[in-house]
Structure 1
Amino acid sequence: MSTTRQRDRCRERLEQLSRSNDRVDTFQQQAVLELRSVIGFDRWCWPLGDPETLVPGVGIADHDYGPGLPRALELEFGGRDFTTKDAIARRSPPVGSLSTDTHGDLARSARWDEVLRPVGIGDTAILACRDVYGCWGWFEAHRDSSDGPIADDDLTLLADIAATLALPLRRDLAQSREPREVEAPPSGTLVLNRDLRLLSQTEPARRWLELLPAAQLFASWGMLPAPLYPVATLAREGAGERARTLVPATAGTWIRIEAAPLMGTDGDIAVTLRSATPKETLDVLSRAHGLTRRERQLVTLLVGGLDTSAIIRRLSISQYTIQDHLKSVFAKTGVRSRRELVAALSGDSLVASHAPNGPVDGD
């Protein structure tokens, strides 16, 4: 059981770490060490997330149920389990534990019973790394089955640092992607059966899979990249409006993953992978840069090709107000012109990385 002083020092240390300019994975590793010393846990997982659909993507982890991850994600997003990531992201405060939500009967959770218990995991706490701009990932702490449940005071500590842990994740997404290394493949499709096993795929789909983060690791476990499983599960369960996600790829582009049931089959699911459009990346990148609602409205019109006169008519604001908003947006995004801004918020790293450095274009 941690003391009040230990928890207070942990909060302070994490706030200091979150304001540093370290790589996001370096921050995560340091944060895990701080939290482990106070809360006490043996295994952990820290996936990133899509703030719009609340679908987890790829992250870092230290656990031993990798091959069981597809089944864990299927059970979690099938709509009938406890302490799920999407539910935690909507909760206030955005934290929970299996022991609390199941009233001490962990076996009520299917993913604990089928996936976590066989490797010796006991209680699990999940924190949504959430701030005013959205949910950017989840931190999961797993205790061994021989240890006791995670204490309420430790859950309170996690709740207190939700925005602290969110900041570096959001800041990392806002960073410019590396220039595109290869030409993006055309849209590709995979077909999964009802049990989420791969039946077939197109050649472009295979190429897209190789561009997803940690693709080789997932392949070594005999599974597809992790984001495909919650998306396919949501499609199978009829939650088509959420059966999609955006994932930053390793080749300087954003991948849109979406799924839908195939008509005339015994529950087969088509999963499509393609380059995200500027409109699709606009919202997540605007949030990642910390733009206000009004600023997001402005950049949406800019990306849509409207000039200053049209924006004045659409938003009923003056040219001076537009100038003020643009100066704020330029400062937050680190660009100097409208062209660079459109590139930065459309996910087009190729354009953004070669944008000329001219004077600030606020007209």
Structure 2
Amino acid sequence: MATTPTADRARGELIAAATEAPDALSLFDAASTRLRRVVPYDAAVWRATDPITGLMTAPIRVENLSDEGCAVYWGSELLEGDVNRFHDLARARVPVAGLRAATGDLPRRSSLYRQFMQPRGLSDELRAVLRIGGRSWGQISLFRAAGARAFDAADTAVVDSLSIPLARRLRSFAPAPPTAVPGAAPAGPGLLLFDEHGTLISANDDARHHLEQIPASPSTTTALGLPVPAWIHSTALRARAVADGLDRGPARIRMRSSGGLWLVCHASCLRSADGTLGPAAVVIETAAVSEVAPMIIAAYELSTRELEITEQISRGLSTHEIAAFMSISQHTVRDHIKAVFEKVGVSSRGELVAKLFTDHYEPLTRTGTDRHDHHS
């Protein structure tokens, strides 16, 4: 569906502002300010996602919503089999959909509407996946209050036109190396246990340390006095959904600390001797090279063949050895290496390996505080 000149102009301004944004949270701020002019809404959530698993990660920007509803929202998304699931939108022809449009204007068919939206005076949600190259780099949820018109095809078209440009910009942030800040030694694996209701029942000291290094996110206060970010709750819920057979795929996300160090958060459900599902165990730890490399490589838009050659370079193979290993000519190998150097912005093999694999693991003796408060 064609957009209006006003929408086209606003879209251009939004993309220009997003291109200049220095980080994901700044991008969300700039995009929200401009999008609201052509697609009015009363509340919103902008999220970064792990491009490998599609799960929410940090940072997150929340507008005009309190933090306490996060668990309810993701419970509907992951455990209720609701309509317009992000998992499905990521693979849909159009990665944008309105709740009232999808339910034939019968929103009560949705558990999200009944349990999360209606109690908060919200009548419709337009949600979008920001994707490029087959991967999701972000999600948007726009809400309208009771009494407002439903999101229509024109609203959907505007947001759909932003999916690729915003995803491309989010993807461009992945290669940024961490900022070395003097301080304490890194923590070991952090462990958090959640009961069947999603309530935090136990956490070790390393988990507390890791959470102190995470950029500010919508969080739920727990009885342990430890604020639990929404992305931890959603990862734990994904693990329970997978264990219950309601979802599939890994309950795993990669994210960055305030100092830019890559961390991995993964979850699984424990079972008792009789097979009954027990607590969900969530582990946060420093990410291995193998965890982050796919994200960094995707950010540089390397082709499958370029990726294969890059992996051989990282193993220390010469041009002759790579050619023999891949059964191609040395001339072809050199052409691919030249293309890789241009995409990554390096001029030697050593620089390439450092930029793709080494720079992200330089020890950070202390992670600084770089808080990005969300709006509520």
TM-score class, shorter-chain normalisation, is: 0.7 to 0.9
Residue 71 of structure 2 is aligned to residue 70 of structure 1 = yes
| Distance in 2 separating the partners of 1:256 and 1:57 | 10
Alpha-carbon offset, residue 305 of structure 1: 4.8
| Distance in 2 separating the partners of 1:220 and 1:202 | 16
What TM-score comes out, normalization by structure 1 length?
Answer: 0.88
| Distance in 1 separating the partners of 2:99 and 2:12 | 27
Residue 107 of structure 2 is aligned to residue 99 of structure 1 = no
Alpha-carbon offset, residue 180 of structure 1: 5.9
CA contact (8 A) 1:185 1:208 kept: yes
Q: 1:263 to 1:166 in 2, by over 3 A?
A: same
Q: Aligned residue for 1:194?
A: 196
Residue 293 of structure 2 is aligned to residue 254 of structure 1 = no
Q: Secondary structure of the equivalent of 2:79?
A: coil
Q: Aligned residue for 1:47?
A: 47
Q: Deviations over 1:245-276 (max 9, x none)?
A: 11122233111111111121652111111111
Q: Aligned residue for 2:238?
A: 234
- Work out the percentage of aligned pairs sharing the same amino acid: 27
- The runs of 5 or more residues in structure 1 that have no matched partner are 354-363
Q: Deviations over 1:173-205 (max 9, x none)?
A: 222232365532111211111111111122212
Provide the alpha-carbon RMSD of the alignment.
Answer: 2.5
Between 175-184 and 242-251, the greater mean CA deviation after superposition: 175-184
**Greater fraction helix:** 1
| Distance in 2 separating the partners of 1:198 and 1:242 | 21
Q: Aligned residue for 2:346?
A: 335
Greater RCO structure (CA 8 Å; 6+ sep):
2
Alpha-carbon offset, residue 91 of structure 1: 1.1
| Distance in 2 separating the partners of 1:173 and 1:154 | 29
Alpha-carbon offset, residue 63 of structure 1: 2.5
CA contact (8 A) 1:232 1:259 kept: yes
Q: Deviations over 1:12-60 (max 9, x none)?
A: 2233334436444333222212211111111111100111111011221
The residue type paired with residue 214 of structure 1 is A
Q: Deviations over 1:49-91 (max 9, x none)?
A: 1111110112212131311112211221225112222221111
- The runs of 5 or more residues in structure 2 that have no matched partner are 365-376
CA contact (8 A) 1:235 1:243 kept: yes
What TM-score comes out, normalization by structure 2 length?
Answer: 0.85
1:302 to 292, 309, 313: 313
| Distance in 2 separating the partners of 1:162 and 1:260 | 31
| Distance in 2 separating the partners of 1:336 and 1:185 | 35
| Distance in 2 separating the partners of 1:244 and 1:312 | 36
Q: 1:347 to 1:256 in 2, by over 3 A?
A: farther
| Distance in 2 separating the partners of 1:4 and 1:108 | 32
Alpha-carbon offset, residue 112 of structure 1: 2.3
The residue type paired with residue 299 of structure 1 is T
Q: Aligned residue for 2:372?
A: none
2:253 to 245, 248, 251: 245
Q: Aligned residue for 1:208?
A: 210
